[in-house]
Structure 1
Amino acid sequence: MTKVHSKLNEIRLASRIGYLFKQPELLQLALTHRSVSHKHNYERLEFLGDSLLGMIIANYLYHAYPNENEGRLTRMRATLVRQEALGKIANDLKLSQNLILSTGELKSGGHHRESILADTVEAIIGAIYLDCHDLNQLSSVVLKWYEPYFSHIEPTDQLKDPKSRLQEYLQARKKPLPVYDVIDIQGDAPNQHFTVECKVEGMSVMKGEGLSRRFAEQAVAADILKLLEKKSI
């Protein structure tokens, strides 16, 4: 890639992020996966960004929902900062186009891996803070990323994941907890597809599928909860 193309990519990314770095090397570091360098990669920036993101979202929710208790606010924050949410932010910012990965990581699909994309978002947050040393400016940038998602966050128990809600539903009725079993795994890591069975007393065995065991378990738990809304077990 020529220097001209590199500079254009940097400018385009800065536009999508909503922040122009005074120290472009911080952004480069935030985009660099450990497969490229064990010493010079985004992991320390990710550590910093993770804490900053939690504070920014907590501060937003505290003021946006003055009547909600700590438990509800905690679940709302967890929904907004978890890997899936950060993966969506990364896709909005089109970070996969700018990740710096080793040849092996690139060939294995690392530029589309949700965990790497989520880590990169946190690293960029850390990099912006080190570049500007201004929490207000950083908050403004980060909250802009989240604008499309705040309207979908409501202070309800639905913010708990399906597995947690299913467990609470059964416990409240003094029923045995669900039993999950992996019955099939297709493909090779990291591109695997899992099928999971879930057994709940009084119901037929149900199956769920996903790109990880956790996703498959959440999928089948969500389906069972839908059925339980229609009947009592």
Structure 2
Amino acid sequence: MNFIRKIIETRSKKDEIFYGDIKKIIGFSPKNLQFYKKAFIHRSVKEVDEITGLQLNYERLEFLGDAMLSAVIASYLFKEVPSGDEGYLTQMRSKIVSREHLNELGKDLDLFRFVRSNVLKSKFGENIHGNIFEALIGAIYLDKGYGYCKKFIFKRVIIPYVDVPKLEGKITSYKSLFIEWCQKVKKDFEFEVYDDTGNDTVKHFSVKLFLDGKIISKGRATSKKKAEETAAKRAYYAFQNEISNL
């Protein structure tokens, strides 16, 4: 008991606050706070490990967290849906761990407040939220092992958000769905993307979606991919009956 008290007393006030915040988020006591600190270091900080000389940032933890999240979700679906074949299970897992969903999870936990960066926070895109959510999972795995990692994923992802019947009808890519429809009904389509000349601080892209030579929808976002997805989503709802009946 005295040993534990001594460890706590040697923490800085800043670390003590961070420790408390992380404990509330993950639902159990962190053992090695350094893993969690690293989960929020952006590469722009250019911090280097004193022993290895390697750059410290959340990207390796993000990679590890992505793999752990995918493994836990795959195991859950394998047990929960015994009749699902490989294609079905892969599709369902993709819906659960979609970038959009991970971004929402990161936002819900307000993880962005912990990020250390030399880049203005207004310059970051939406994906930063999902990236650090995955990095946090990687930190949990290194700190506490698979069991605690699984516990966190069930608490924050599976229990509150995973409803298999609802997920079956969820569309994860309107662009893919629209293109598939065009190919089946033999219609010509084209996404025309161009730089937006607006006065936004962050650069935007705009896109026009043509169907058989006519503009049917437009989209605007901070990346070409998002702009195309927005235009495809609007086109989907414009042709929803035709696409759904195919």
Bin the TM-score by the shorter chain. Answer: 0.7 to 0.9
Of 17, 21, 24, which residue of structure 2 is paired with 1:15?
24
What is the CA distance between 1:161 and its match in structure 2? 0.5
User: What is the Cα-based RMSD across aligned positions, in Å?
Assistant: 2.7
Q: Does 1:200 align with 2:216?
A: no
What is the CA distance between 1:5 and its match in structure 2? 4.3
| Distance change >3 Å, CA 3–CA 86, structure 1 → 2 | same
Aligned 8 A contact 2:68 2:138 in 1: yes
Q: Where does 1:1-233 land on structure 2 (aligned, <5 Å)?
A: 3-37=12-46, 39-102=55-118, 105=119, 107-109=120-122, 113-133=125-145, 135-146=146-157, 147-151=159-163, 154-156=166-168, 158-176=170-188, 178-186=189-197, 191-201=202-212, 204-231=215-242
SS in 2 for 1:16: helix
Name the % identity: 31
CA deviation vs aligned residue, 1:158-212 (integer Å, no higher than 9, x gap): 4341011011111121223x20012451458982232210011275432122222
SS in 2 for 1:9: helix
Q: How many positions carry a matched residue from both structures?
A: 226
CA deviation vs aligned residue, 1:85-136 (integer Å, no higher than 9, x gap): 211111111111111212xx1x2525x5323222211111111111112x22
* Equivalent AA in structure 2 for residue 154 of structure 1: K
* Equivalent AA in structure 2 for residue 20 of structure 1: S
Worse-matched range after superposition: 217-226 or 73-82:
73-82
* Equivalent AA in structure 1 for residue 193 of structure 2: V
Aligned 8 A contact 1:182 1:195 in 2: yes
Aligned 8 A contact 1:72 1:156 in 2: no
Aligned 8 A contact 1:31 1:98 in 2: yes
TM norm structure 2:
0.81
For residues 62 and 182 of structure 2, the distance between their equivalents in structure 1, rounded to whole angstroms, comes to 38
Q: Which runs of 4+ in 1 moved over 6 A?
A: none
CA deviation vs aligned residue, 1:4-54 (integer Å, no higher than 9, x gap): 244123202320222321001111111111111261222222221121111
Q: Which has the larger radius of gyration?
A: 2
Aligned 8 A contact 1:46 1:126 in 2: yes
* Equivalent AA in structure 1 for residue 87 of structure 2: G
What is the CA distance between 1:72 and its match in structure 2? 2.2
For residues 164 and 198 of structure 2, the distance between their equivalents in structure 1, rounded to whole angstroms, comes to 34
SS in 2 for 1:221: helix
Aligned 8 A contact 2:70 2:97 in 1: yes
Gaps of 5+ in 2: 1-10, 48-54
For residues 188 and 23 of structure 1, the distance between their equivalents in structure 2, rounded to whole angstroms, comes to 45
| Distance change >3 Å, CA 90–CA 139, structure 1 → 2 | same
What is the CA distance between 1:71 and its match in structure 2? 1.6
TM norm structure 1:
0.85
